[in-house]
Chain A
Amino acid sequence: MSARFHLREIAHARAGDKGDTCNIGVIAYRPEYYPILLAQVTPEAVRAHFRGLVRGAVTRYELPLVEAVNLVLENALGGGVTRSLSLDPHGKSYAALILSMPVTVDDAIAGRLQALGRRPLP
């Protein structure tokens, strides 16, 4: 048995910019959530979730000591912060977008999340 939740329920995130490259640090709220990031927040899944926004490579770096992954999205900021036509040229809101990704968690974690009042996805 398992349940699906938004990534937001198990992780938090912050995005940064360098030119046309966006990076998003995704950090597990608890050490036992970190394997979920490793298994499910893969470059392929991130690319699919960011459909239409990323034209270049997606690379993932792992930081087990702080239970985080760093996602690097190339050609993802509308041609670069300084010339983009986007209302969010820095891609700061991309951290919110990654947190809307669905992830599957096991029963124990689902139970804990529901006890916190977090609702699974239908």
Chain B
Amino acid sequence: MNSRRDRPFVRIGAGASYAGDRVEPATDLAARGALDYLVYETLAERTIALANVQRLKDPSAGYNELLEDRLRAALPHCRRHGTRVVTSMGAANPLAAMAKAGAIARDLSLGPLRIAAVIGDDVLAYCQRHADSLTLMESGAPLCTLAGEIVSANAYLGADNIVAALAQGADIVITGRVADCSLFLAPMIHEFGWAQDDWDRLGQGQVCADMVECGANVSGGFFADPGYKEVPDLGDLGYPYLDVAADGTAVLAKLDGTGGVINRAICTEQMLYEIHDPANYITPDVVVDFTGVRLEEVGANRVRISGGRGRARPDRFKVSVGIKEGWIGEAEITYAGLGCLERARLAERVVRRRLEIGGVALDELRVDYIGLDSLHGEASLPPAHEPYEVRLRFAGRARSRRDAQRLAGEVETLVGKGPAMGSLPRTGVREVLAIYSVLIPRAAVQARLAWEVT
């Protein structure tokens, strides 16, 4: 393992792909993977908006809740093997996350560690100042036309700040909102010295990054379909890593002895995941063209990735704006046995009538028959016979918490005041934190690094 600096590739492991991802497989990668880099990507569209809400309540919060579990488990291995960590676990508070990481490193007596935080993705003030002129990507309407309190605005930064931190010797880089792929692209740029306008190389690198940015979704996760797509030992799913060569081509693999599968089929699923026009996938670093990508199985659970291309990066950053948009009330009740569907349908009529009587103001009401057609509605295949049980679900969006609560309440009372023989309803009310997107000029973002040295 000491000779791995002589390897003709850089090994980058994917330790997480969402906030609540499993901890153990990443630790296994850190312990046995001979990694150069371990990357934890933990931000979905809404994650950072939720984290902002937490930070507003508690200035020391707003970073990933599993940061301590993850770093305590992995850092001793990373230290032993010289593996550097790159992560978006900073979420809405990279500085607090950096402080926490430093405390953990000291507590574990890991010796001197350089920890960098990338800050500056928070562009809430800019967006508020320019709410009249910024237009929503979803509708083209000005940002200022949204009703509701804007709680966050975070720009999807690129790889460059992480590259700078690595160049300055960071052992750990903690970011807020950075484009998922860019977390993985940054180590490639740093190691191979790719020019900022070497678009085809960056495009190919970003193709490889895209392959692992959803973690184990390319090594067996979200793939198994018994009888059609089999995944060995899914329970002990191994997380993937990339061996990237200087030309940007890579071999995707996972650790021996772990469950899961890496083949051409799952790689193709992952490659197309969340892209629209495959010739124009926009990232902050490069516009990626997937149309020439080749995927070759070069061994058991090993796929070679090549053929990605790129074009000049966009001149604007995408920003996710989080806005409080009222409340959702939800409630569910199950009917079973003979006639269950008729009793459920009667329950729906009863609740609708009572909402009318009570004057409950809902912007939208949805009623689902779970077990019948709740996900696909009229597009569902028709059932061969009446189901033995059906779960009736109501979900309504309201401007006020009170109206959302009243919807839930009218379902709750079905237990005594509705049709016969229903189960005890379960109810909930939650605040809507909606996400919209706008584009802002690069110059509007002043990203910088902060440091802590243990």
Contacts and interface: CB of A to CB of B under 8 A. Distances in A.
B265 A27 contact: yes
Contact of A53 (B278, B294, B379): B379
Contacts of B272: 14, 16, 23, 25, 27, 63, 68, 70
A17 B44 CA distance: 11
8 contacts: A23-B273, A27-B272, A51-B378, A63-B278, A68-B272, A72-B277, A87-B370, A97-B379
A52 interface: yes
B291 A25 contact: no
Contacts of A1: none
A82 to B, nearest CB: 5
Interface residues of B, number: 53
Given A23-B272, A23-B274, A72-B276, A49 B397 contact: no
Interface string A15-34: 01111110101010100000
A46 B279 CA distance: 22
A114 interface: no
Contacts of B291: 63, 65
A45 interface: no
Contacts of A68: 268, 272
B274 A17 contact: yes
Interface string B292-315: 111100000000000100000000
A14 B269 CA distance: 6
Tell me what chain B mostly uses at the interface: helix, strand, loop, or mixed. mixed
A12 interface: yes
B268 A27 contact: yes
Interface of A: 8, 12-14, 16-21, 23, 25, 27, 29, 49-53, 59, 61, 63, 65-68, 70, 72, 78-83, 85-88, 92-94, 97, 100
A85 B332 CA distance: 13
Contact of A82 (B379, B393, B432): B432
Contact of B228 (A8, A27, A92): A8
Given A19-B138, A66-B293, A100-B381, A12 B228 contact: yes
B208 to A, nearest CB: 15
Contacts of B307: 65
